[in-house]
Structure 1
Amino acid sequence: MAKQSVLVVGSLDMSNRTGLQADQRVLEKYNIVTAIASTRLTTKDSSNSLEIFEAPLESLRNAIDEGVKGGVSVFKIVSSLGSVYTEESVLLLATVLEKAHYASVIVDTEAIFKTGRPTPPSVLRSVREKLLPLTTVLSATVPEVKLLLDDAGIPVAYPKSIEDVALLGKSVQALGPQHVLIKREIFDEGAKTTTLHYVLCGPGEPVIAASTIENVRGVTGLSYLIPSAIAANLANGTDVSVAVSAAFKFLQDMVSSGVYFE
């Protein structure tokens, strides 16, 4: 039986815990073939300082075309803080998705919006109007969901309870995604524990879950790997609710066992 394949669009980082490198390592643990297309390129200037710049659209298009040649079952968009996205690159991704038929499409807005700089209105609008209607699973945090709803002119108050978070998820479903995953990660320095919360909104009632795990090494940023683990489970044929639950358990088991990406 041939291995399943996932195409990940994001950026190459210097760390094994973030970006396309982390995606690849997660997917390898699931025995998934990974094709990558980077939205940014890195080089060193004359003083040996690292420079990061947007990948040319043609380069991104060619990488995607090359990645899909072998057949892709899941298309995962964005994988790293600091990914470089423009209106043109988002529209390119939407065009690819409209022409192709993938079993699942995952969009992780954390990597688009949480970059240390304001999200250009044109990028926010193109994500909302062009990508979300093509999305199987939207993975986001509360501020990112609020950003999308505010941009769409949908008035929803900032949540004060987990039930309010579920309302946010159901509200953003009106923008097109089949499922909305809103996640939160809390590290307790004193107790050396991490609590992972998530609300998953789909066709039925929202699923609300939380778990606390021992985290003696103080590893943070676990939630960045959740979309990759979801992609792996979807590629292996599980439905979305099972894929999300399994993805969170994957991270829990990795951290509680003391084994994490070095």
Structure 2
Amino acid sequence: MMTDFPQALSIAGSDSSGGAGMQADLKTMQERHVYAATVLVAITAQNTLGVQDSVPLPAKIINEQFTSIADDLAIKACKTGMLADSEHVSIVVENLKKYDFGPLIVDPVMVAKGGATLLTEDAVITIKENLIPLATVVTPNIPEAEVLTDLTINSKEDMIMAGQKIKALGAKNVIIKGGHQASADTASDFVLLENGHSFWLSSKRIDTIRTHGTGDTLSACIAAELAKGVDVETAIITAKKYVEATITDGIIVGHGHGPLNHWAYRKVAKNAKL
């Protein structure tokens, strides 16, 4: 008999250092009290200093992972992360059309924190034309939004325009993450909802390099909240607070762009009402 415990799916690449990718998704979903399943699309050899190598998996095993999950689990929301190239984006799109895994969060991962390219140029077109139209929420950072929209983003007005252009690609809701925008005090994200309502989410900018996996964590938290039946706006606000907590109460791991503290909300959440 099928359990009704909330279940979510991460469709992404593996980060051998555990800070980003599928590992960050699993930790986040677990901390948000959601059972996490996975479809592994690519494997990376990486650490806090950078990505040393990566290999996409064969189509056959990716398809079989989707089938195995669909045959047994009750996935209520899913998210995508690193998808490598156009071929693998298309494989994922075909499976998402085949199986109903609930709301889809698209994190258009293009570049690792250390600067390594995680998405080929031809895959950007496939994401824009085939994956984003399936998305409930799309969560690009500023560099990713610039690639998706062919805009140069230097201001809040530019972020608003980028959000509108990405929504026009077919996404229901869009978050333009403003962490890359120069500001001494705050990091502000622009949120554009399906109903046309828009707002800004701002948090205090923390002076740290230990932010590896922030994008994965944000999108995974949104997916987890949606799997629990939370509305989109509340899920986005909760995810922003959760990520802020993981950065605020940091941990020291590695010698470069260190990972987040995924269990930090246990101490911080009382004040953040998570």
What range is the shorter-chain TM-score in?
Answer: 0.7 to 0.9
Letter aligned with residue 71 of structure 1: A
Is contact 2:142–2:180 with CA below 8 Å preserved after alignment?
Answer: no
Is 1:70 the counterpart of 2:69? The answer is no
Is contact 2:177–2:188 with CA below 8 Å preserved after alignment?
Answer: yes
Q: Normalising by structure 2, what TM-score?
A: 0.78
Is 1:140 the counterpart of 2:132? The answer is no
CA separation of 1:258/1:92 partners in 2, compared to 1, >3 Å: closer, same or farther? closer
Is 1:233 the counterpart of 2:236? The answer is no
Is 1:9 the counterpart of 2:11? The answer is yes
Q: Secondary structure at the match of 1:140?
A: coil
How far did 1:118 drift? 8.4
Q: Using the alignment, how far apart are the partners of 1:23 and 1:143 within structure 2?
A: 21
Q: 2:187 corresponds to which residue?
A: 196
Q: Using the alignment, how far apart are the partners of 2:122 and 2:248 within structure 1?
A: 41
Is contact 2:136–2:171 with CA below 8 Å preserved after alignment?
Answer: yes
CA separation of 1:159/1:73 partners in 2, compared to 1, >3 Å: closer, same or farther? same
Aligned pair count reads: 240
Q: 1:161 corresponds to which residue?
A: 155
Q: Among 178, 181, 184, which residue is 1:184 paired with?
A: 178
Is contact 1:40–1:52 with CA below 8 Å preserved after alignment?
Answer: yes
Matches within 5 A, 1:1-262: 2-41=4-43, 52-68=54-70, 69-78=72-81, 83=82, 85-109=84-108, 111-112=109-110, 116-117=116-117, 119-150=119-150, 157-185=151-179, 195-202=186-193, 203-212=195-204, 219-221=210-212, 222-258=214-250, 260-261=261-262
Q: Using the alignment, how far apart are the partners of 1:219 and 1:175 within structure 2?
A: 33
Is contact 1:108–1:227 with CA below 8 Å preserved after alignment?
Answer: yes
Is contact 1:187–1:220 with CA below 8 Å preserved after alignment?
Answer: no
* Runs of 5+ unmatched residues, structure 2: 46-51, 252-260, 264-274
Q: Using the alignment, how far apart are the partners of 1:206 and 1:112 within structure 2?
A: 25
Offset from partner CA, 1:147-181 (integer Å, 9 cap, x none): 1223xxxxxx5233213211210121111100111
CA separation of 1:60/1:31 partners in 2, compared to 1, >3 Å: closer, same or farther? same
Q: Using the alignment, how far apart are the partners of 2:57 and 2:79 within structure 1?
A: 18
Q: 1:154 corresponds to which residue?
A: none
Q: Using the alignment, how far apart are the partners of 1:123 and 1:177 within structure 2?
A: 17
How far did 1:42 drift? 6.2
Q: Using the alignment, how far apart are the partners of 2:153 and 2:44 within structure 1?
A: 39
* Runs of 5+ unmatched residues, structure 1: 44-49, 151-156
Offset from partner CA, 1:87-131 (integer Å, 9 cap, x none): 22111111112222332001101x235562485343111111110
Task: Work out which structure has the larger RCO, using CA pairs closer than 8 Å and 6 or more positions apart in sequence.
Answer: 2
Letter aligned with residue 139 of structure 1: T
Is contact 1:145–1:168 with CA below 8 Å preserved after alignment?
Answer: yes
Q: Using the alignment, how far apart are the partners of 1:5 and 1:161 within structure 2?
A: 38
Is contact 1:183–1:197 with CA below 8 Å preserved after alignment?
Answer: yes
Offset from partner CA, 1:2-41 (integer Å, 9 cap, x none): 3211111111112222111111111001111111111124
CA separation of 1:123/1:246 partners in 2, compared to 1, >3 Å: closer, same or farther? same
Is contact 1:3–1:31 with CA below 8 Å preserved after alignment?
Answer: no
Letter aligned with residue 209 of structure 1: L
Q: Normalising by structure 1, what TM-score?
A: 0.81
Q: Using the alignment, how far apart are the partners of 1:253 and 1:124 within structure 2?
A: 31
Q: Using the alignment, how far apart are the partners of 1:171 and 1:99 within structure 2?
A: 27
